[in-house]
Chain A
Amino acid sequence: MQSAIIQPARGTVKPRPREAPGRWLPAPTLALQRLYHWSVALLGTRLYVGLDASSVIAAALGEGLGGRRVRAFARVPLEPGALAPSPSGPNLQRADEVRGAVRRAAEGLGRRATLVLPDGVARVALVEVPDGADPRDYVLFRLAASLPFPAAEAIVDALAAGGRRAVGAAVRRATVAEYEQAAAAAGLEVERVHLAPLVALAGLMRAGARDAVHAVLGDVAMCLAAFRGGVPFAVRSRWRDRSSGEASRLRREAARAAALAGDGKEPARLVVSGAEATRLRQELGESAGLALSGLADWPEAGEPPSWLGGLVS
């Protein structure tokens, strides 16, 4: 798909890339760029639509032999309160507004989509799956007591995290259905439903994340994952408090996350990505780095969501 020819819908941000994509070609010639575009068009593009409290983001990702690349990107802001991520109650407070935003974001980018649900809708835990146990059953067994809804209503899946470890998550079926119905009403055919923190964690693992506590930020919740040797050894989900002093609270949370399974000999290094990561990085100082960046070719798009970084990592 040629992202340059997509016209932005009203109210959306559909920036053109700085140059034709060339991450793996430092100075591509025009012929090579054309070749790249033809290959991407040939190899297929997949549409991802992520929803969070502040915006709906649609990204068309070209899937090729060299990995995924963002071919088109749109962000449609939501008015405060239109969408409130929650594990148990209704999420789409003003469903019409959200549906409209989804429609505008995905306009012209495709019909089949993978939905990415925001931080805060799921219970997430790192578990060690015993031999012979079904990972989904075991995750549900571990999370059942902490779910704010009946376990029978949970949709459970798990992400392999090295060895027998898995990052499991449980989402209420009604919550997923709420998002799926909004997407369907916006004209999309939902193929899969992912969770933003799990997509980000998968990207961190794929990229061989350095030893640190990685804070993957959503609009209302965040996931803290302490990594060692490229795999997580502790995972926590927290609601965000974006009031003054969030950076210092984040640092303390990171230290607690590292202490859960770490040796505590060194101060926890914190790596931040996702919503408002730039502001938090500035407040935290030099020690905070960038974990996931999915829009190197799209500087006008602003701060990318962590799930998008996870997809292209």
Chain B
Amino acid sequence: MSRQPDFSTAPRCSRVPAWESLAVGAGLVAVVLAAGGAWRAREEAQSARSRLTEVRREVEAAAARQRILEARARGPARGLAAAEAPPARIVADLASAIPAGVRLERLLIDYLRDGALEMHVVARDAASWDRLLARLEGAPCLREVQPGPEAREGEVRTVVRARWVGGGP
């Protein structure tokens, strides 16, 4: 049923009014513009997301750095953090704690485990070994002193584990 009946002898497809064509064209242009805008917005969102991740990483690094600095700033009693202590400083602290008759043969410093130390020592006799343990346990720069298995063949060979915590300026 036609909107307005056509009685022509050779009916042809109805011509779409120009304004309707224009409206459709304008609608298509609007859709294309909207799609372009949406695409740009999506890219901006992705860029912003990656930037946010980067900034978060920077913030976390800055916070870690801040924690270190705060720990350093808390006072001289605590001294240097283990992660930042130079090996020479740790060796010097150990040297002051090792008594006569004891030789430090090998020292491992594990900075990833917050200054964990593994000392391979040789004591001339059991008394020297006992003095060493007493000195190490009493040293303010060391914590968690754990003597390992001993090998006694005249002299005492063993491994001592401890954690260097500083304590000086």
> Which chain B residue lies CB-closest to A178?
B9
B92-127 contact mask (Cβ, 8 Å, vs A): 1 or 0 = 000000000000000000000000000000000000
Which of the four size classes fits the interface of chain B? 10 to 19
- B6 interface residue, CB < 8 Å from A? yes
Q: Are B9 and A176 in contact (CB under 8 A)?
A: yes
- A194 interface residue, CB < 8 Å from B? yes
B14-34 interface with A by 8 A CB criterion: 14-15, 17-19, 22-23
Q: Are B5 and A157 in contact (CB under 8 A)?
A: yes
> Which chain A residue lies CB-closest to B19?
A43
- B12 interface residue, CB < 8 Å from A? yes
- In the assembled complex, how far is the CB of residue B157 from the closest CB belonging to chain A, in whole angstroms? 101
- B1 interface residue, CB < 8 Å from A? yes
Known: A135-B1, A158-B1, A160-B1. A44 touches B7 (CB 8 A): no
Known: A158-B1, A159-B2, A166-B1. A177 touches B18 (CB 8 A): no
> How many CB-defined contacts (below 8 Å) exist between A and B?
74
Contacts of B23 in A (CB 8 A): 65
- B74 interface residue, CB < 8 Å from A? no
Taken together as a complex, chains A and B put the C-alpha atoms of A268 and B3 apart, in Å, by 29
- A280 interface residue, CB < 8 Å from B? no
Known: A42-B22, A63-B17, A63-B18. A158 touches B9 (CB 8 A): no
A119-151 contact mask (Cβ, 8 Å, vs B): 1 or 0 = 000100000010000010000000000000000
- A257 interface residue, CB < 8 Å from B? no
| Most chain A C-beta atoms within 10 Å of own C-beta, residue among B2, B14, B15 | B2
- A292 interface residue, CB < 8 Å from B? no
Q: How many residues of A contact B (CB 8 A)?
A: 33
Q: Are A180 and B9 in contact (CB under 8 A)?
A: yes
> Which chain B residue lies CB-closest to A192?
B6
Q: Are A44 and B19 in contact (CB under 8 A)?
A: yes
- In the assembled complex, how far is the CB of residue A309 from the closest CB belonging to chain B, in whole angstroms? 14
A62-86 interface with B by 8 A CB criterion: 63-65
A143-181 interface with B by 8 A CB criterion: 155, 157-160, 166, 169, 171, 173, 176-177, 180
Q: Are A190 and B8 in contact (CB under 8 A)?
A: yes
- A222 interface residue, CB < 8 Å from B? no
- In the assembled complex, how far is the CB of residue A308 from the closest CB belonging to chain B, in whole angstroms? 14
Q: Are A44 and B5 in contact (CB under 8 A)?
A: no
- In the assembled complex, how far is the CB of residue A300 from the closest CB belonging to chain B, in whole angstroms? 28
Contacts of B15 in A (CB 8 A): 191
- In the assembled complex, how far is the CB of residue B81 from the closest CB belonging to chain A, in whole angstroms? 76
Give which listed residue, A63, A176, A202, contacts B8 with CB less than 8 A: A176
Taken together as a complex, chains A and B put the C-alpha atoms of A221 and B1 apart, in Å, by 25
- In the assembled complex, how far is the CB of residue A254 from the closest CB belonging to chain B, in whole angstroms? 25
Contacts of B14 in A (CB 8 A): 192
- A195 interface residue, CB < 8 Å from B? yes
Give which listed residue, B4, B7, B11, B18, contacts A117 with CB less than 8 A: B7
A15-63 interface with B by 8 A CB criterion: 42-44, 46, 63
Q: Are A180 and B1 in contact (CB under 8 A)?
A: no
> Which chain B residue lies CB-closest to A129?
B1
Contacts of A166 in B (CB 8 A): 1
- In the assembled complex, how far is the CB of residue B1 from the closest CB belonging to chain A, in whole angstroms? 4
Contacts of A198 in B (CB 8 A): 4-5
> Which chain A residue lies CB-closest to B22?
A43
- A193 interface residue, CB < 8 Å from B? yes
Q: Are A155 and B1 in contact (CB under 8 A)?
A: no
- In the assembled complex, how far is the CB of residue A234 from the closest CB belonging to chain B, in whole angstroms? 19
Q: Are A180 and B8 in contact (CB under 8 A)?
A: yes
Contacts of A63 in B (CB 8 A): 17-19
Q: Are A157 and B19 in contact (CB under 8 A)?
A: no
Residues of B within 8 A of A (CB): 1-9, 11-12, 14-15, 17-19, 22-23
In order of increasing CB-CB distance, the 8 nearest A-B pairs are A44-B18, A157-B5, A43-B19, A193-B8, A193-B7, A135-B1, A192-B6, A160-B1
- Name 23 A/B residue pairs within 8 A (Cβ), A-sorted: A42-B22, A43-B18, A46-B17, A65-B23, A115-B8, A122-B7, A155-B7, A158-B2, A159-B4, A166-B1, A169-B7, A176-B7, A180-B8, A191-B8, A192-B12, A192-B14, A193-B6, A194-B4, A194-B5, A194-B7, A195-B7, A198-B4, A199-B4
